[in-house]
Amino acid sequence: MTIYQEITDSIIQELEKGATPWVKPWNAPASADKNIVSGKPYRGINRFITAMVSGIKGYDCPAWASLKQWNELGARVRKDEKATKIVYWSQAKDKKAEASGEDKFYQFAKVSYIYNVAQVTGIDIIASEDTPVSDNQKIEACENRIIATQAKYTIGGDTACYIPSIDSIRMPALNTFQSAEHYYATFFHELTHWTSEKTRCDRDLSKGRFGNSDYAFEELVAELGAAFLCQQHGIKGDLRHAGYIESWLKCLKADSRAIFKASALAQQASDFLLACGTDKQVLIEDELLAA
């Protein structure tokens, strides 16, 4: 098995647990996952991997290092802690080219294993506060809507996602968003995913894989649900309709009724969230789901 396949398989495994890639209407440079020794933030695929694992594991400090690096810092990785596999690039001389007098190099990928500071002892690292990039103010009605759901969530970091395996939402801080409306639109998107749990609206997320039709369908439900909630609260958030719905619809063209089903499920999710904290019973239009 190649390194590429190993990394791909590990990403698929985590995606199946609920971690998802994101498009960000926020900036959080202080909270970017980074190597504690070099201070350099991870980039590309490694940024994706570390953020995803932090979301799954609940790591709130973005400091990472290899076993050797932690040891050199006087820290020790706890017994039975599992390393996170990332990729780095190395280069070597092209022997065939060298034989003919040419000085050529080629790059190849290698695996490195790193641990988050939450997995080690003997060192104290305090998570940096996100540098405020705005003076966004809370919108009381939106805050009350979130509180009424009693959903579990953590604030901070560089990831917005719902994690089914721990039934919890992760959100970057309000002051890192380009506007308060972007923040609440993103929160409503994740809350719509949160309604998928069996005792709420019971949508099966287990078949979703990034890029497949099931994943696209649930993302469309979440976007529509967020749009309905934004409309309900009179805000205009930065939803992902313009850049993403076209690609989602390509996945959904196999079922001409899919958009109607997605709208019905989004309405059900929206109704459920709006009913939280009240005695209202949430119903769904059977004729829409049967369409």
- Residues of the chain with pLDDT > 90, as a percent, come to 27
Give the C-alpha distances (Å, rounded to integers) separating 4 from 43, 45, 64, 85, 108.
16, 11, 22, 11, 11
Instruction: Give the pLDDT band of residue 158 (cuts 50, 70, 90).
Output: confident
Looking at every residue in the chain, the average pLDDT score rounds to 76
Residue pLDDT, tens place only, 262-277: 778 888 998 999 999 8
Is residue 28 within 8 Å of 172, Cβ to Cβ?
yes
Residue pLDDT, tens place only, 76-110: 999 999 999 988 777 777 666 666 667 676 667 78
Is residue 210 within 8 Å of 15, Cβ to Cβ?
yes
Q: What is the pLDDT of residue 255?
A: 60
**pLDDT at residue 113 greater than cutoff 90:** yes
**pLDDT at residue 208 greater than cutoff 80:** no
**pLDDT at residue 73 greater than cutoff 70:** yes
